[in-house]
Structure 1
Amino acid sequence: MTHDGMSSLQIAKQLRKVVSERTVRRWQHMYRSTDKIDLKTPAGRPRIIRTKSLIRKVTNRFIYKGRQSARKLANSLGISKGTIGRIIHEDLHLHAYRVIIEPNLNDDHKQRRVSFTYWVAFSIAKMTVFMLPLDTTLMNTKEQSRRPSFQKKLMVWLAASKNGLSLPIIFEPGETLTHENYIEIVLPHALSEGQRLLGDNFIYQQDNATPHKHKDSIAWIKKNFPQFIDENKWPPNSPDLNVLDYYVWDAIGHNMHWDKVKSYDSLIDEIKKGISRVPKNDLLRSVQNWSSRIFSILKTKGAYIK
C-alpha cells in the first residue's frame, strides 16, 4: 500500500498497464527498504542462462546454418524453448515463422510439389534477371479482436516481394471475391504494385482459388503481366511455399494493437498500421528463404517443410 492507501493493483491500473502489478510491488518494496526507487536496478536474479555467450552461439547458428526450428535449436543447446524464444525475440529481434495448419497432401500433390521444384531449378533460376515471385493471396484476417463485443473478419489482398509489401486492398465487410472484381480491382492493382516494387521484370504468382483460375482472369493475366506461374505449375495445398502464409500474415497480426479494435473502421486502421510495421529486414530474409524452401521439397520427397 502507498501512503494514500492505494494498492499495487490500483497503481498499475492508474498507469494504464504501462508496467505490471509485479513491477509496482517491487518498486514498493524497494521504496520501503531504501526510501527511493532505483530504475537502473534490473529486476529478478542475475542472468545465469541467457548470457552474452549463449546469445552469441544462437546468432552463429542462424548465420552458419540458416533457418532452424526454435524447438530443435533449444534441444541442441540444452536450454528451454522459453529461453530460446526470449533470445530470438528480445535479444536478436527476430520473428519466428508461424506454424501453418497443413492441408492433407496426397501422392499427386507431393509429386506436383517435386515437379514444381525442378521447374524452378531449370526455368526460373536460369533467367538472366531473376526476380523472386510477387506472392499474392486473398484471405480472411486470421486474428480477431480480443474484445468479445467485436469479433469480425475482413478480406485483405496483399502482395510481398524482396523490395517490400504492396499497398493492400481491404474489401468491404461481407464482400466476397469473384472473377469479376478480381479482374476489375485486384489484378490492375497487382500489376501496378509489381511494377512499383520490382520494375517490369517480375513473376506474378497466385494460388489456385476459383476466381484466380477463371478463364477470363487467366486471359487478363497472360495479356498484361510480364511472367506468370499458372495453376499447372503452382502446386496445390502449399502454404509452406507462400511467404504470405509462412511469415507475412502472422507478422502483421503480431504488429497490430488488437485492444484498439472496436469497429470495422478501427480494424481497417490497425491492419494498415500492422502492414507498415512489418520489419523490412525480416521480410527480406523471409522472401530470400523462398528458394531454399523450394529446394527443401526434394529432401522431404514432396512432403511439407518442417
Structure 2
Amino acid sequence: MEENTTNEDGATTYKHMSADQKRIVFEFLQQNSRNMKVKKGFKKIAATKFSISARTITRIWLLGKQNIANGIDFSGKSFGHAGRKRVEIDVNMVKEVPFNRRTNIRSLACAIHLSKSTLHRRIREGHLRPHTNSIKPYLTEENKRARLRFCLSMITHDMNLNISLFSSMLNSIHIDEKWFTMTKKNQRYYILPDENPPLRTCKSSNFIDKIMFLCVVARPRFDTLRNTMFEGKIGIFPFITKEPAKRKSKNRPAGTLETKPINPITKDVTRKMMIDKVLPAIESMWPGGNSGGIIFVQQDNAKPHISVDDPEFVEAAKRNGFDIRLCFQPPNSPDLNVLDLGFFRAIQTLQHEQAPKSIDELVAAVEKSFVELHHDKLNKIFLTLQLNMIEIMKKAGGNNYKQPHFDDNQCPNGSIPLQLSCDEELINSVHNHLSHSS
C-alpha cells in the first residue's frame, strides 16, 4: 500500500507500508472499537499517530474486517514488487558482438536488441565494464625476439640466494624526447552551475604552440636508512633557440630576443644537445663521479638519434675520465623505457596546472614540473619496468598484456626492493623459445 503525502516543498511523496505496519494500525483501531466499529474520533487520532491519511486508515480497517475470519493478511501484492518487471538478459551474448560495435552504448544496445537505458543499468550494476583501449606498436617476429633477448640481458643469478634477479639498473640512464603543448584541445574544468565556462582561443587547434624536450633520468639511490643520495633526475632540456625579432610590435621592439622552437629535430641537433647539455649534466650529477664504471645511456630507435658509435659523441663521452656509452632499446618498445611508462604523463599533469601563455612560460612550467615530481615515483617506475619485462617474457615478446604498476601494496614490510625476482621456469621457457625460433 502506498500513502501519498506532501513534503515541506509541496512535492508529493509516497510512503510504502509493510504488512507489519498495517497490522499495528489495525490492532490500534481494534483496541479502540466496539462491536467492530471504531469509536468516534479514533480514525483521526490514528492518522495523526501513524502519519498517514484518514482514507488509508479506513482502507486498512475495512481490509482487516473482511479477512478477520480467515486470518488477517496484510501482505499487499504491490509491496516489494512495484514498478516495471525487470528485463532479463544474457550478458554473454555481448561476446558475439564485434568489438567495433561495442564502442558506445547506443551501438551495443542496437546490436543486442536492447534499449539504451536497460543496457546502461546493467553497466551500473557491474555486469559490463567500460574499457579504454590504446593502440600499441606493431611487432614483427624479429621485434619480439629482440625484446626477449633484452629482457634476458637484464637478469642476473644470485649465487648466495640461488634465485634470478633483474639488474638493479643503477648504471642505466634513460633518455627520450617528448612534445609539450601550451594547452590541450579539450580540457575538463569544474565550475558552478551559474558560472560562465572559460574561453580558450587559438587560431588553429591543429597548430597549438609546442616545444620538444629531451628528458634524462636514472635510477634514484638511497642509503640503508632510505635517505636520498641521488634523485635520479638528471635534467630536461628544451630544443629552443633565441632569435632577434625582425619587426617591431606592440609587445616588443625590433631586435628583442625571442624564444623559438627548433624545428626540425635532426641528428646534428640531437648530437649537439647530447654533447653540450646531456653529457655535462651526467658528469656533474652522477653519484661517485667517474669511478662508477660504465654508464649506459638507453635511447629509442627514432631517426634523429645518433648511432652508438658516433665519433663526436664517443670522443666527448670519454672526457674527464667517464665511460659513457649509448645503447638502443628494442624497436617498437616504448614499454621498455621508464619515461614512456608514466614519468612523462606525471610531468604533463603538473605542467598543465601552470596554464602557460608563452613559449618562455611553457619552458619554465615543464622545468618546474620536472623538479617538483618526487623521485619516489621515478624509483617505482623502474620497478614497473621490471614487472613489464616479466609480462613480456610470458607473452613470448608480445605487448598484448595488461600494464602492471608497482605500488606500496607489493611491499608488505614497507621496504621498496631494489630488484625483483624472476621465475626460473619462465627464464628457461624464453631460452627454449629463442632457440627454436632462430
TM-score bracket for the superposition, by shorter chain length = 0.5 to 0.7
Aligned-pair distance for 1:294?
A: 2.5
Q: What SS is found at the alignment partner of 1:212?
A: coil
Match of 1:250 among 345, 349, 353: 345
Q: What SS is found at the alignment partner of 1:261?
A: coil
Aligned-pair distance for 1:228?
A: 3.2
Match of 2:183 among 121, 144, 150: 144
Separation (CA, whole Å) in 2 of partners of 1:297 and 1:142: 32
Q: What SS is found at the alignment partner of 2:263?
A: coil
2:246 corresponds to 1:158 = no
Q: What SS is found at the alignment partner of 2:209?
A: coil
Q: Is the 8 A contact 2:173 2:217 kept in 1?
A: yes
2:313 corresponds to 1:207 = no
Q: What SS is found at the alignment partner of 1:230?
A: strand
Matches within 5 A, 1:177-256: 177-195=265-283, 196-198=285-287, 199-200=289-290, 201=292, 202-214=295-307, 218-223=310-315, 224=317, 226-228=323-325, 230-231=327-328, 234-256=329-351
Separation (CA, whole Å) in 2 of partners of 1:229 and 1:302: 23
Separation (CA, whole Å) in 2 of partners of 1:135 and 1:113: 17
Separation (CA, whole Å) in 1 of partners of 2:372 and 2:133: 21
Separation (CA, whole Å) in 2 of partners of 1:137 and 1:129: 20
Aligned-pair distance for 1:221?
A: 4.0
Separation (CA, whole Å) in 1 of partners of 2:140 and 2:154: 21
Distance 1:222 1:153, change over 3 A: same
Matches within 5 A, 1:37-48: none
CA deviations on 1:250-292 (whole Å, 9 max, x unpaired) are 0001112446222212211211121122122111111233333
Q: Give me the identity figure in percent.
A: 22
Most deviating of 260-269 and 114-123:
114-123
Q: Is the 8 A contact 2:174 2:216 kept in 1?
A: yes
Separation (CA, whole Å) in 1 of partners of 2:178 and 2:156: 31
Separation (CA, whole Å) in 2 of partners of 1:277 and 1:264: 20
Distance 1:143 1:134, change over 3 A: farther
Q: What SS is found at the alignment partner of 1:273?
A: helix
Separation (CA, whole Å) in 2 of partners of 1:183 and 1:229: 12
Q: Which structure's residues are more often helix, by fraction?
A: 1
CA deviations on 1:64-120 (whole Å, 9 max, x unpaired) are xxxxxxxxxxxxxxx98xxxxxxxxxxxxxxxxx98642111212111101111222
2:214 corresponds to 1:175 = no
For structure 1, the 5+ residue unaligned runs are: 1-78, 81-97
Distance 1:293 1:265, change over 3 A: same
| Structure with max Cα Rg | 2
Q: Is the 8 A contact 1:100 1:239 kept in 2?
A: no
Matches within 5 A, 1:1-306: 101-121=135-155, 131-141=170-180, 144-145=183-184, 147-149=200-202, 151-163=208-220, 164-172=232-240, 173-195=261-283, 196-198=285-287, 199-200=289-290, 201=292, 202-214=295-307, 218-223=310-315, 224=317, 226-228=323-325, 230-231=327-328, 234-258=329-353, 260-304=355-399, 305-306=401-402
Distance 1:221 1:257, change over 3 A: same
Give the aligned residue type for 2:358: S
Q: Which has the higher contact order (CA 8 A, sep 6+)?
A: 1
Distance 1:275 1:138, change over 3 A: same
Give the aligned residue type for 1:197: W
TM-score by length of structure 1 reads 0.58
Q: Which structure's residues are more often strand, by fraction?
A: 2
Q: Is the 8 A contact 1:162 1:288 kept in 2?
A: no
Separation (CA, whole Å) in 2 of partners of 1:99 and 1:212: 30
Count of paired positions: 207
